[in-house]
Amino acid sequence: MPERPGGALAKRPLQFIWLVDCSGSMQGQKIETLNLAVREAIKPMQDTADDNPNAEVFVRVLKFSSGAQWHLSQPTEVHQFRWSDLEAGGSTAMGQALAMAAEALEVENMPQRGLPPVLVLVSDGQPTDDFNRGLKALMDQPWGQKAVRVAIAIGPDADLDHLQRFIGNPEIKPLVASNVQELVKQIKWASTIPIKAASSPASRTRAMGTAGIPMPPPPESVAPARPSDIF
């Protein structure tokens, strides 16, 4: 084999961050379903990463209730990623979660050759802290601005307006999970499709923004299997 010029070759890193609402209203069926759904979505997530072999996917998890904390702070390669169940209780510090995500995406923490990060925000209610400040912090970061951002609204009380502002792309709406089956399906979609989209080597100009990262339409609605499955 002829000697190749240059140093080590490597896949491009892709940072995937879950931001999950663990407020009191998530107690019971919602948080149980979410825990199950994410656990079931790990294999499809790994398969998606395998289908995009030039991307190296790293997963982290932020949880927010009365404050925001890292549930998994160390970027974990997707094939090593394991889900430990979240518990619910408290208020909805969504703004603080966005601010913490912003810190993680600061330029000095990110490799210049990285792929667009993926942020998935899951919530069933309204933020109870300074959402605007958190969103500004996120969007003030170049990597936050260029991230693929999707959101899942659980149940009828979720604030779609805030989730839409987080997404920041009028062509992508928050996914709405009205029942257990829809949440499972949407968690799976959010675990896989944005990774595939962000893994594309296609370039875009600033004017295109994340609208320049094509994403297929979200999954169709699913009827509840039982009335008790409705959130």
Partner 1 sequence: MPAGATCSWRITHESVRGAAHVRAGLENQDAVDARSAPGDRPPVVLAVADGHGSPRSFRSKQGANLAVQLAVAAATRLLEDHRDIGPSRIEREARDLLPAEIVTRWHQAVQRHWEEHPCTPAELAKLGHEAAEAAASITGEAGALARAYGSTLLLAGVGEGFAFYLQLGDGDILVASAGAPQEPVEVHHPLPPDGTLIANETTSLCMAGAQGMFRFHFHHYQERPPALVLLATDGYFNSFRTPADFEQVASDLVRLIAREGWEYVSHHLHSWLDEASRSGSGDDASLGILYREGAVDASRPAPAGEEAATALAARAAAAPAAGDR
Give residues in contact with partner 1 (CB under 8 A).
2-12, 52-55, 107-117, 142-143, 146-147, 199-208, 212-214
Q: Which is nearer to partner 1, 202 or 227 (CB)?
A: 202
Where residue 95 falls (left for φ over 0; alpha for ψ -120 to 50; beta otherwise) is alpha
Q: Which two tokens stand for residue 19?
A: 């931001």
**Neighbouring C-beta atoms of residue 10, cutoff 10 Å:** 10
Instruction: Identify which of 23, 230, 194 has the alpha carbon closest to the alpha carbon of residue 122.
Output: 23
- Comparing C-alpha atoms, which of 86, 83, 95 is closest to residue 27? 86
Q: Which of 144, 155 has the CB closer to partner 1?
A: 144
In the complex, least distance from residue 53 CB atom to partner 1, rounded to whole angstroms: 7
Smallest separation, CB 115 to partner 1 (Å): 7
Instruction: In angstroms, give the least distance from the CB of 30 to partner 1.
Output: 32
| Smallest separation (angstroms) from partner 1 to the CB of 160 | 24
The DSSP symbol for 230 reads: B
- Phi, psi for 92 (deg, rounded to 5): -135, 80
Nearer to partner 1, 217 or 227 (CB): 217
- Give whichever of 33 and 199 is closer to partner 1, judged by the CB atom: 199
Please, which residues have CB within 8 angstroms of residue 140's CB and are 6 or more apart in sequence?
102
Minimum CB distance to partner 1 smaller for 107 or for 170 = 107
Min separation Cβ 18 and partner 1, Å: 19
